[in-house]
Amino acid sequence: MNAREELAHDIAAALDESSEEYGGYSDTKSVSWATLDGKWDLRETADHLLKAGYRKPRIITTTEERNALPDMTVVRSSNGVIWERYKDPDGIRDHWAQPTASVTGFPSLPATVLYTPEELS
């Protein structure tokens, strides 16, 4: 399932959940999971959100995944602390640090990837 389909499914699930738990929207006229009241295609809604910059957060759960992240990656650890990876081109220095403190170590897992340099391209 691609990002568009996954997001459309998530929107549909959220609408279904809100109708049951909070008295929210109830879609009684749907022709399929992806169509709301026979008028609005949730896949088009997903396209709009993706174009606006929405990305599902990436969660890393293993040290291998953490070690594979590139220099300047920023993560939020399982205990809520922000960490940034610093890696010298020569490979001599490779560590994680808290940008607002003089603390080095490793982010606790699972961690949410907030930024990777390739997101700029």
Full residue range of the structural domain in which residue 83 is found: 58-120
C-alpha 7, offset from chain centre = 11
| In contact, 69 and 87? CB cutoff 8 Å | no
Asked if pLDDT for residue 118 goes beyond 80, the answer is: no
User: What rounded mean pLDDT belongs to the chain?
Assistant: 80
Residues 34 and 77 in one domain: no
pLDDT digits (tens, 9 = 90+) for 52-110: 888 888 999 999 999 999 999 999 999 999 999 998 777 777 889 998 888 889 999 99
- Helix ranges (H only) for 56-109 are 63-68
Distance CA 88, CA 5 (A): 39
- The one-letter amino acid code at 119 reads E
Q: How many domains does the chain have?
A: 2
The pLDDT of residue 121 is above 50: no
- Considering the domain architecture, whether residues 45 and 76 belong to the same structural domain is answered as no
Residues 13 and 45 in one domain: yes
Contact (Cβ atoms closer than 8 angstroms) between residue 83 and residue 107: yes
